[in-house]
A and B are shown apart, each in its own frame.
Chain A
Amino acid sequence: MDNVPKYVAASATAVAMTARPRAGKPDDRELVRDAQKGVTVAFEELVRRHQQRVTAVVGGILRRREDVEDVAQQVFLKAYVSIQRFDMRSAFSTWLYKIAVNECWDYLRKKKVRPLSYEADLSEEQARHVEQFVSADGHGDNPSERAELREIVERLLADLSEEDRVMLVLKEAQGFAVEEIGRMLNLNVNTVKVRLFRARRKLAKTYRRRLGAHFDKHENRKFGGT
């Protein structure tokens, strides 16, 4: 039993699995094959391995912390139900992230969550907060301050398409690679790069427009009047 993986040895329901001892840690493919045969502990191990990244994908799309875990759970439930249909042509993680992205779109559609769109300029105080956050590292460490900043940036993001918003947050906040984002959204890597870059420029322009005259002061200070 020494070389039997921990996930197998841990459960009495996987007695059959112990007859096939494996050296080292099983990779995702082996676990998927076992899960397809109905070994629930194999799926449990897959959940343990991918829960963090799936939660990051869901968090990046929903950006509402209270719903993130519930939707992530739904993602794994859907993956379990349809694991027989997974043909191993892509990595299990890619397949799982795609389920996560679709589940999030469904969730947003069902909840009819529309991005907040305020055309009015930000208040003087809000503009100051954002400006401080942008210029000074460390500003916004306070949770309530950060929540307010999040709401302001969410408003600024309303000018972008949902897909561009998702790409930006997954890249900048969740730290996903451009390749991973491309696979999740079925987009070519170069397309993701160009769209990301344009989305960033658009966001910066919106930021400048909303901050208006207040930003000019900041700009002059930052670039020494150039």
Chain B
Amino acid sequence: MTSRHHLIGSLFLASVFALAVTAQPTSAPTDKKSTSSNSRKRVAKTQDEGERVFQQNCSRCHASPEGFSPRVSGTIVRHMRVRASLSQHDEEALLHFFNP
């Protein structure tokens, strides 16, 4: 092993340790369905907002990927938050758009 390899190994271990410290298990979200008209309007508005965020930020660079699993939608949205410099509000709207 050269010193360069040691450096890479050390960097990797340090990053893994840092990630372990910051990692927190999270719980699954609750999905509450509401049948009231107010709730439906709110959902529709959030959908429109999410579509606007998608059109104005994601689709300016690329087409929407077809048929990705809903299990990775949160990961995609977080990736887009960083890459496209989305605000937290836009991130939430986009997540609702992917998971109506």
Our verdict on whether A and B bind, yes or no, reads no
B→A interface (CB under 8 Å):
none
